[in-house]
Chains A and B, each alone.
Chain A
């Protein structure tokens, strides 16, 4: 059972100290996510879904409980090791794109490779390939301010893919896009999952995003409320 699981989360809790008070963002989440699927984590704001995403994405560590990524207990990793995981095994796509300003699409896509010690020439090639995957050939040298919202999100996806991660994490990926562009982006996710067999976790409360998933996990008040599967 374990080999097929990309992610194993066992009773993960996350508590924040805000001044004198404690905020229990996650009160004990347990779930396993298999390789190759598209999972949507849904819930209202304040439900803890962003916190869960940060932990899955190794930007944050649980206060207690275990998180295993590809069999490794990353919940015990130190900052540097977590950075390595983010670099090589996880790709992020954010609602507000989070690209570097005044920088070309190519340079943005290459960014993870800069921290991977990949030689420049190879990095450039990998970035060009990634941009082609999201349909941006020919646009490599356009700067961020010369790209539309949809194109920027595509660059962000290319950046997330460039190091061949096993997991793609997307936080409200269509939040800043119009409906038509949003659908285009979701089509790209579908295509990537189908062709590259990359596991995708979407965090959202939008139906047009969740619709492409084959499994939906609903979170409320820091706990899993219910699940839906196809």
Chain B
């Protein structure tokens, strides 16, 4: 066939499709891998972790009703701690502010928590100690640093016992948390300072309200704990049966799924951008087919003179375009799989190759061939045989 006779040109034409398909497959697999990794990370934080927030479930999203009516109180937290299936409880107040040490400034997140926080979050200390219940009750201005904040403010010097100013209020550093790494799109776990929630209240002025309550259930009793907490909260918040809750209790997998959702959106975006190159590839095919038709005007004339009909010529050139694009698609799939494997080896990102994206890429490249090959093929079929035979 004509394609075989000019291998180099056929290959260059198919290149656009190869790159387009390869990029789509690679992007999607990176995105899928990221999604799985994010979900993994969340579930590894503990499947027995529950978060209680104000605002009803139907407000969806990760930050649910945060910002709208804050109705979680310390009394709520204490009641929840009493639930039978609950092992640990930590009230939560968060804010964001300037931290100063000497001439160093750092804007970071301040988490006001209870003494059970490291148990709930499975988080070990690097140096120093976490504050205990007594310190929390006394509202002591003590701080535990995330490793990134420690590095930025102290640069390797011993921070224990030093005074830092959080929003100009002096706090004494009692410990540094072990490095935990990326929080899957929510910034780094290590870029925060943990203080007793009682002192955080003084920083934010929110005397009696909490952002959330975190609890960990006894192993295997997460469902139980969730049910118990919901009941306690309904009674305390005087919610009639059947009425909507003004709070939500979520476990980690739901939050993980929500996080996964946004990586999904990112993946779609990336794939969309990569698809643009598929489009460009299609235009490339149309271009080359047009050139090919012009170069073969004489040949078309010869074929017509021995009896080729318009439809025969149309089909001939259309088939060439489709073969080119499907060939490019197949190669692109291979390139995509190879590059996502390469990326996962080099960058350490996990990648997941989905059959769906492969099939989609294949179908898409075929359609590109039909769509962009049609105009040149039609042009070829409409040639006048006498003119075509005369063409030099």
A residues whose Cβ falls under 8 Å from a Cβ of B = 54, 57, 59-60, 79-80, 83-84, 86-88, 92, 94, 98-102, 111-112, 115-116, 159
C-alpha gap A78/B162 in the complex (Å):
97
Q: Does B305 count as interface, using CB distance less than 8 angstroms?
A: yes
How far in angstroms is the closest Cβ of chain A from B4? 10
In the complex the two chains form, is A115's CB within 8 Å of B308's CB? yes
User: Closest residue to A162 on the B side, CB-wise?
Assistant: B306
In the complex the two chains form, is A87's CB within 8 Å of B307's CB? yes
Q: With contacts A98-B298, A100-B299 known, is A86 near B306, CB below 8 A?
A: yes
Q: Does B309 count as interface, using CB distance less than 8 angstroms?
A: yes
Q: B308 to chain A: which residues have CB within 8 Å? A: 83, 115
Q: Could you say which of A60, A79, A98, A159 contacts B386, with CB atoms under 8 Å apart?
A: A60
Q: Could you say which of A57, A79, A99, A159 contacts B309, with CB atoms under 8 Å apart?
A: A79
Q: A159 to chain B: which residues have CB within 8 Å? A: 306
Q: Does B266 count as interface, using CB distance less than 8 angstroms?
A: no
Interface hits, B282-298 → A, CB 8 Å: 298
Q: Could you say which of B5, B298, B305, B310 contacts A79, with CB atoms under 8 Å apart?
A: B310
How far in angstroms is the closest Cβ of chain B from A205? 18
B residues whose Cβ falls under 8 Å from a Cβ of A = 5, 298-299, 301-312, 385-386, 389
Q: Could you say which of A79, A80, A111 contacts B306, with CB atoms under 8 Å apart?
A: A111
C-alpha gap A100/B385 in the complex (Å):
15
Q: A98 to chain B: which residues have CB within 8 Å? A: 298, 301-302, 305, 389
How far in angstroms is the closest Cβ of chain A from B153? 75
Q: A112 to chain B: which residues have CB within 8 Å? A: 306-307
C-alpha gap A102/B296 in the complex (Å):
13
In the complex the two chains form, is A115's CB within 8 Å of B307's CB? yes
9 contacts between A and B (CB under 8 A): A57-B305, A59-B304, A83-B309, A84-B309, A86-B307, A98-B305, A111-B306, A115-B312, A116-B307
C-alpha gap A112/B305 in the complex (Å):
9
C-alpha gap A115/B302 in the complex (Å):
12
- Among A80, A83, A99, A101, the most chain B Cβ lie within 10 Å of the Cβ of A83
Q: A111 to chain B: which residues have CB within 8 Å? A: 302-303, 306
User: Closest residue to B307 on the A side, CB-wise?
Assistant: A87
C-alpha gap A94/B386 in the complex (Å):
12
C-alpha gap A102/B295 in the complex (Å):
14
C-alpha gap A92/B386 in the complex (Å):
13
Q: Could you say which of A59, A84, A88 contacts B385, with CB atoms under 8 Å apart?
A: A59
User: Closest residue to B303 on the A side, CB-wise?
Assistant: A111
How far in angstroms is the closest Cβ of chain B from A87? 2
How far in angstroms is the closest Cβ of chain B from A104? 12
C-alpha gap A87/B298 in the complex (Å):
18
User: Closest residue to A156 on the B side, CB-wise?
Assistant: B302
> 10 tightest A-B contacts by CB?
A87-B307, A112-B306, A115-B307, A83-B309, A86-B307, A98-B302, A115-B308, A80-B309, A59-B385, A83-B307
C-alpha gap A4/B311 in the complex (Å):
35
C-alpha gap A54/B302 in the complex (Å):
13
How far in angstroms is the closest Cβ of chain A from B233? 79
C-alpha gap A94/B389 in the complex (Å):
10
- Among A92, A98, A159, the most chain B Cβ lie within 10 Å of the Cβ of A98
Q: Could you say which of B299, B301, B309, B385 contacts A115, with CB atoms under 8 Å apart?
A: B309
User: Closest residue to B302 on the A side, CB-wise?
Assistant: A98
C-alpha gap A54/B386 in the complex (Å):
8
Q: A101 to chain B: which residues have CB within 8 Å? A: 299
Q: B307 to chain A: which residues have CB within 8 Å? A: 83-84, 86-88, 112, 115-116
Q: Could you say which of A83, A94, A99, A100 contacts B304, with CB atoms under 8 Å apart?
A: A83
User: Closest residue to B4 on the A side, CB-wise?
Assistant: A102
Q: A99 to chain B: which residues have CB within 8 Å? A: 302
Q: B301 to chain A: which residues have CB within 8 Å? A: 98
How far in angstroms is the closest Cβ of chain A from B105? 74
In the complex the two chains form, is B306's CB within 8 Å of A100's CB? no
Q: Could you say which of B5, B298, B299, B306 contacts A92, with CB atoms under 8 Å apart?
A: B306
C-alpha gap A148/B299 in the complex (Å):
20
C-alpha gap A54/B387 in the complex (Å):
11
Q: B304 to chain A: which residues have CB within 8 Å? A: 59, 83, 86
C-alpha gap A101/B385 in the complex (Å):
18
C-alpha gap A86/B312 in the complex (Å):
14
C-alpha gap A57/B307 in the complex (Å):
11
C-alpha gap A92/B305 in the complex (Å):
8
How far in angstroms is the closest Cβ of chain A from B242? 74
In the complex the two chains form, is A87's CB within 8 Å of B306's CB? yes
User: Closest residue to A79 on the B side, CB-wise?
Assistant: B310
C-alpha gap A57/B301 in the complex (Å):
13
In the complex the two chains form, is A102's CB within 8 Å of B5's CB? yes
- Among B303, B304, B306, B389, the most chain A Cβ lie within 10 Å of the Cβ of B306
C-alpha gap A112/B304 in the complex (Å):
9
User: Closest residue to A112 on the B side, CB-wise?
Assistant: B306
C-alpha gap A86/B385 in the complex (Å):
12
**Given A59-B385, A59-B389, A115-B308, 13 more contacts at CB 8 Å?**
A57-B305, A79-B310, A80-B310, A83-B307, A86-B305, A86-B306, A94-B389, A98-B298, A98-B305, A111-B302, A112-B306, A115-B309, A116-B307
